[in-house]
Amino acid sequence: MDAAEFRKRGKEMVDYVADYLEKIDKRQVFPDVEPGYLRPLIPDCAPQDPESFEDVFKDIEKIIMPGAASPACTELETVMLDWLGKMINLPEEFLAGKDGQGGGVIQGSASEATLISLLAARTKTIRRVQSENPELTEAEIMGRLVAYASDQAHSSVERAALIGGVKIKNVSSDDKFTVCGSALKKVLDEDKASGLIPFFFCATLGTTPCCSFDRLLELGPICNKENIWMHIDAAYAGSAFICPEFRHLLNGVEFADSFNFNPHKWLLVNFDCSAMWVKKRSDLIGAFKLEPLYLQHHHQERFRSLKLWFVLRMYGVTGLQEHIRKHVRLSHQFEHLVLQDERFEICAEVVLGLVCFRLKGSNELNKALLKSINEAKKIHLVPCYLREKFVLRFAVCSRTVESTHVKFAWQHISQLATDLLQTWEHDDHQQ
Ligand SMILES: *Cc1c(COP(=O)(O)O)cnc(C)c1O
């Protein structure tokens, strides 16, 4: 939608809301639809091609308003997560369908999804261990539980373990910043030998520092065999799986208990919309019976699935695929520009929309470069450490980004590097 249409539709929307408020006494106070009314009214999967705003909007009155906030809100959410799950070709077990055991739910953030899956795994493990060893108290079991994640995992995983009151250990990633099966196996064997109970592993697809991918096909079978809940955090990278050429990165998801990615990060949906699927809904519902986190969205005044419905229909699967592909193409364009300049190096494989790069030289030099880039305020970069190296991260993010922006950014960086290197050589910064 361009700015002109947005202006027009925005005004129509204000009229719609004002009309609704003005004529609210003409509407029924309680819906007469039955739970389950919504699914038969909408297609089974997302449209391939974009639909017009008019068509999407007509459905509000036809499909949503009769169910008002409830049950429409919950039902649309379940159906939208089935649409989205099919778009990334999630195994059937994760979908709710009409009577599946799995299904998706919208969370506020990937951090929340990780926390919820860790808590569900904790409950499930405590119950299992207690049934095998009735003499153990819950506190004794809790004291022996251990969660695991890559040393490249997002900080929210460690935070989830802190909140959940369980130990967490890093699993070492390899020279590609990837966790492989043998690394996990090694810590599991050590920990089991010392009496600990491994119960949760958070695999990352698309790590925050450099977008590396843990090896699900090796890790999944180990977790399944050891009764370890495998959660997959694909907060950023998950959106790319709607493109068949990137779907292989998700192979092994069939071994997971829960999977999460953020449409609010890379699928043009506004914050907050983090999509989480589980194979067994009962694991979540069972874990939160007293404090129904899973059901929290019923009580919230937010209707987060509506924005997903609009975006999926207004862009269509093909439109969203184009968006992802454009970003990946542009990150490779940036990568090529970096590679043509001998002063610089690429620090991790470029798979999606992130390029990790640096000047060949000390961390101090690269910190100075980042400082001059961010102080100029024409572009903004967020750095990271990869092992001991200070690295600059170029992330393609904007919906409206074009090749000219990437060229501009590179010329700018390159010029600042030239300026910096001139002064640097005259100073005695060099180490
Ligand atoms: C961004 C990111 C997160 C955090 O996402 P929130 O939705 O802000 O909680 C978690 N994991 C990875 C891999 C991320 O890239």
List, as one string, the DSSP characters of 295-316: GHHHHSS--HHHHHHHHHHHHH
Residue 270 in this model has a pLDDT that exceeds 80 = yes
Q: What is the dihedral of CA 38, 43, 49, 54, to 10 degrees?
A: -40
Whether 214 is in the pocket of ligand 1, judged by its Cβ within 6 Å, is: no
CB 383 within 8 A of CB 393: yes
Q: Give residue 431 CA to ligand 1 midpoint distance, Å.
A: 35
Ligand 1 atom with the smallest distance to the CA of 262 is 7
The residues near 335 (Cβ < 8 Å, ≥ 6 apart) are 346, 350, 355, 357
Nearest-angstrom CA–CA distance, 225 and 76: 36
Of the listed ranges 97-101, 314-318, 376-380, the least confidently predicted one is 97-101
Q: Give residue 109 CA to ligand 1 midpoint distance, Å.
A: 7
Which pLDDT belongs to residue 289? 63
Q: What is the CATH number of domain 101-279?
A: 3.40.640.10
- Kindly list the distances between the CA atom of residue 210 and the CA atoms of 299, 378, 381, 419, in Å, as whole numbers in the listed order: 38, 23, 13, 27
**Among 223, 210, 143, 134, residue whose Cα is nearest residue 178:** 210
Confidence band for 293, pLDDT divided at 50, 70 and 90:
low
Whether 107 is in the pocket of ligand 1, judged by its Cβ within 6 Å, is: no
Confidence band for 286, pLDDT divided at 50, 70 and 90:
confident
Which pLDDT belongs to residue 291? 52
Whether 204 is in the pocket of ligand 1, judged by its Cβ within 6 Å, is: yes
Residue 430 in this model has a pLDDT that exceeds 80 = no
Whether 208 is in the pocket of ligand 1, judged by its Cβ within 6 Å, is: yes
Q: Give residue 277 CA to ligand 1 midpoint distance, Å.
A: 16
Which pLDDT belongs to residue 301? 59
Nearest-angstrom CA–CA distance, 166 and 118: 10
The residues near 363 (Cβ < 8 Å, ≥ 6 apart) are 388, 389, 390
- Residue 360 sits at φ, ψ, to 5 deg, of -65, 120
- Residue 110 sits at φ, ψ, to 5 deg, of -65, -35
Q: What is the mean pLDDT of residues 124-136?
A: 95
Q: Domain map of the chain by residue range?
A: 101-279, 325-427
Residue 25 in this model has a pLDDT that exceeds 80 = yes
Helix-helix angle 363-376:403-426, to 10 degrees: 130
Which pLDDT belongs to residue 285? 81
Whether 111 is in the pocket of ligand 1, judged by its Cβ within 6 Å, is: yes
CB 147 within 8 A of CB 199: yes
Q: In the numeric block, which tokens belong to residue 340?
A: 């043509």
Which pLDDT belongs to residue 252? 98
Using a pLDDT cut of 90, give the percent of the chain over it. Answer: 86
Per-residue pLDDT reduced to its tens digit, 369-420: 999 999 999 999 999 999 999 999 999 999 999 999 999 999 999 999 999 9
Nearest-angstrom CA–CA distance, 98 and 100: 6
Confidence band for 302, pLDDT divided at 50, 70 and 90:
confident
Q: Give residue 20 CA to ligand 1 midpoint distance, Å.
A: 38
Whether 114 is in the pocket of ligand 1, judged by its Cβ within 6 Å, is: no
Residue 297 in this model has a pLDDT that exceeds 80 = no
Average pLDDT, the chain: 93
Burial (Cβ within 10 Å: 0-12, 13-18, ≥19) of residue 381: middle
Closest residue CA from atom 15 of ligand 1: 208
Q: What is the mean pLDDT of residues 265-278?
A: 96
| Three-state secondary-structure class, residue 394 | strand
Whether 239 is in the pocket of ligand 1, judged by its Cβ within 6 Å, is: no
Which pLDDT belongs to residue 429? 59
Which pLDDT belongs to residue 309? 96
CB 392 within 8 A of CB 357: yes
Whether 110 is in the pocket of ligand 1, judged by its Cβ within 6 Å, is: yes
Residue 296 in this model has a pLDDT that exceeds 60 = no
Closest residue CA from atom 2 of ligand 1: 235
Q: Give residue 191 CA to ligand 1 midpoint distance, Å.
A: 28
Confidence band for 85, pLDDT divided at 50, 70 and 90:
very high
Which pLDDT belongs to residue 379? 96
Q: Give residue 133 CA to ligand 1 midpoint distance, Å.
A: 37
Whether 262 is in the pocket of ligand 1, judged by its Cβ within 6 Å, is: yes
Choose which residue among 208, 213, 274, 356 to substitute to test ligand 1 binding: the one with the highest number of ligand atoms within 8 A of its C-beta: 208
Per-residue pLDDT reduced to its tens digit, 180-226: 999 999 999 999 999 999 999 999 999 999 999 999 999 999 999 99
Whether 236 is in the pocket of ligand 1, judged by its Cβ within 6 Å, is: yes
Ligand 1 atom with the smallest distance to the CA of 205 is 13
Instruction: Name residue 211's amino acid.
Output: C
Q: In the numeric block, which tokens belong to residue 283?
A: 């694991």
Which pLDDT belongs to residue 74? 87
Q: How far is CA 345 from the centre of its chain?
A: 28
**CATH code matching the domain that covers 325-427, chosen among 3.40.190.10, 3.40.50.1820, 2.40.50.140, 3.90.1150.10:** 3.90.1150.10
Ligand 1 atom with the smallest distance to the CA of 111 is 9
Nearest-angstrom CA–CA distance, 263 and 110: 10
Residue 113 in this model has a pLDDT that exceeds 80 = yes
Which pLDDT belongs to residue 71? 82
CB 228 within 8 A of CB 210: no
Whether 233 is in the pocket of ligand 1, judged by its Cβ within 6 Å, is: yes
Nearest-angstrom CA–CA distance, 232 and 114: 8
Per-residue pLDDT reduced to its tens digit, 55-64: 999 999 889 8
Per-residue pLDDT reduced to its tens digit, 28-81: 888 888 888 999 999 999 999 999 999 999 999 889 888 787 788 889 999 999
Residue in the structure block whose two tokens are 């990437």: 406
Nearest-angstrom CA–CA distance, 398 and 234: 19
Of 158 and 293, the one with more pLDDT: 158
* Number of other residues whose CB lies within 10 A of the CB of residue 17: 10
Whether 157 is in the pocket of ligand 1, judged by its Cβ within 6 Å, is: no
Which pLDDT belongs to residue 284? 86
Q: What is the mean pLDDT of residues 356-361?
A: 98
Q: Give residue 110 CA to ligand 1 midpoint distance, Å.
A: 5
CB 346 within 8 A of CB 339: yes
